[in-house]
């Protein structure tokens, strides 16, 4: 086995044991130093290029067919159904040839094609209600089952995107706004959904030690989806407060309400960051740091930019962001040097 790949697998296992509480941070660090990692994961970059390349190729093919081939809705439904089935078959066949990542990508494209089939069928059998979120819910349930049946984490990632769009679309549809974020009855609904997703992800993570061992890594998708939805909800709540249906003038929250939600947002981001550092969970660290920075810049532009003037505000924001990047890069270089000295 390639040494870099072996060391990466060992580090992934160590991170998983640390999150499960099976080892402490000292043991994690000592063992991890025995299996150094390369500074740049070219394999990971190649997998992302492969995924985006396959999606771009499929999009280009669809555009070509749209321009040069005339389809009726029925013909289009049959064609997309055949494409969906073919992609799933190819996706199951390729791993047997040693092309596991390419097979996973084919299954992901099959999931996207399935969504297209549902919308075409929706147009054929439309009753005029315009309830498009119902189609996404059907797709979500089907793809969620397939994600676990096929053991495909990319398909589960697509499910998280579908949930985000369905939940917002459904809430907006019910409110009568025909809108997305700003059409929901309460932004707190998304925050509640985020809590449920994170809780499900935490339970999933625990079960990946034994019962769900073959689905290791799936918990990250659940947790990531919950964190993104929750952080975005808190962002809106910090800006506008918790508002009901808007039927006229824009809702202006009291300063106390906005201060409360800003405090809650900061507390959540700091908690996520603390758990990430303690458990060596890089994804949590990324979410915590990213949304703390977003909150600081949001407060700057909403509270100080108008007073300072937009020119000065942009210069301050840009300069501070560059300083932040330089500082983080400097710290990364120091950690790299320290690790090199320890290994030497």
Distance, CA of 289 to CA of 196 (rounded, Å): 22
Distance, CA of 157 to CA of 140 (rounded, Å): 11
What mean pLDDT comes out for the span 168-172?
Answer: 73
CA proximity to 317, closest of 307, 334, 304: 304
Confidence check: pLDDT of 255 > 70: yes
221 neighbors 179 (Cβ within 8 angstroms) = no
Tell me the pLDDT band of 138, cut-offs 50, 70 and 90: very high
Confidence check: pLDDT of 287 > 60: yes
262 neighbors 238 (Cβ within 8 angstroms) = yes
Q: How high is the pLDDT of residue 231?
A: 92
pTM over 0.75: no
Radius of gyration of the chain from its Cα atoms, rounded to whole angstroms: 23
Bigger pLDDT: 326 vs 137: 137
For 14, 301, 325, 333, the CA distances from 322, given in Å and listed in that order, are: 34, 17, 5, 17
Average pLDDT, the chain: 79
Least confident of 41-50, 68-77, 247-256: 41-50
Confidence check: pLDDT of 248 > 50: no
What mean pLDDT comes out for the span 295-310?
Answer: 77
Angle at 73 between CA 89 and CA 85, to 5 degrees: 5
- Chain center to CA of 164: 10
Tell me the pLDDT band of 202, cut-offs 50, 70 and 90: very high
Q: How high is the pLDDT of residue 181?
A: 44
CA proximity to 245, closest of 185, 177, 189, 178: 185
The position carrying tokens 């962002």 is 235
CA proximity to 93, closest of 81, 106, 80: 106
Distance, CA of 165 to CA of 185 (rounded, Å): 16
Bigger pLDDT: 65 vs 28: 28
Per residue in 90-131, pLDDT (tens digit) is: 888 888 878 888 888 889 989 999 999 998 888 888 877 777
Q: How high is the pLDDT of residue 46?
A: 60
What mean pLDDT comes out for the span 252-266?
Answer: 85
């Amino acid at each position: 086995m390639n040494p870099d790949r072996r060391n990466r697998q060992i580090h992934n296992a160590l991170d998983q044991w640390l999150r499960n509480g099976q080892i402490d941070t000292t043991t994690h660090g000592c063992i991890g130093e025995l299996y150094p990692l390369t500074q740049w994961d070219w394999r990971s970059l190649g997998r992302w290029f492969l995924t985006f390349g396959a999606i771009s190729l499929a999009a280009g093919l669809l555009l070509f067919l749209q321009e040069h081939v005339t389809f009726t809705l029925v013909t289009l439904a049959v064609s997309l159904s055949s494409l969906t089935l073919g992609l799933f078959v190819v996706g199951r066949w390729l791993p047997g040839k040693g092309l596991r990542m390419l097979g996973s990508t084919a299954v992901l494209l099959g999931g996207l094609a399935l969504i297209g089939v549902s919308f075409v069928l929706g147009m054929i059998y439309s009753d005029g209600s315009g309830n498009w979120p119902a189609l996404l819910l059907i797709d979500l349930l089907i793809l969620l089952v397939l994600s676990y049946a096929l053991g495909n984490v990319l398909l589960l990632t697509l499910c998280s995107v579908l949930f985000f769009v369905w939940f917002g679309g459904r809430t907006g549809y019910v409110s009568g706004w025909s809108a997305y974020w700003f059409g929901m009855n309460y932004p707190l609904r998304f925050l509640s959904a985020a809590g449920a997703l994170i809780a499900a992800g935490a339970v999933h993570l625990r079960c990946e030690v034994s019962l769900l061992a073959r689905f290791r890594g799936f918990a990250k998708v659940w947790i990531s989806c919950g964190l993104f939805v929750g952080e975005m909800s808190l962002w809106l709540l910090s800006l506008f407060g918790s508002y009901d249906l808007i039927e006229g003038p824009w809702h202006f929250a009291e300063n106390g309400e906005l201060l409360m939600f800003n405090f809650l947002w900061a507390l959540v981001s700091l908690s996520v960051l603390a758990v990430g550092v303690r458990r060596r969970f890089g994804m949590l660290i990324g979410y915590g740091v990213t949304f703390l920075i977003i909150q600081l810049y949001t407060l700057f532009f909403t509270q100080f930019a108008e007073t300072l003037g937009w020119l000065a505000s942009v210069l301050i924001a840009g300069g501070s962001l560059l300083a932040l990047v330089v500082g983080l890069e400097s710290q990364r270089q120091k950690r790299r040097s320290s690790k090199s000295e320890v290994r030497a």
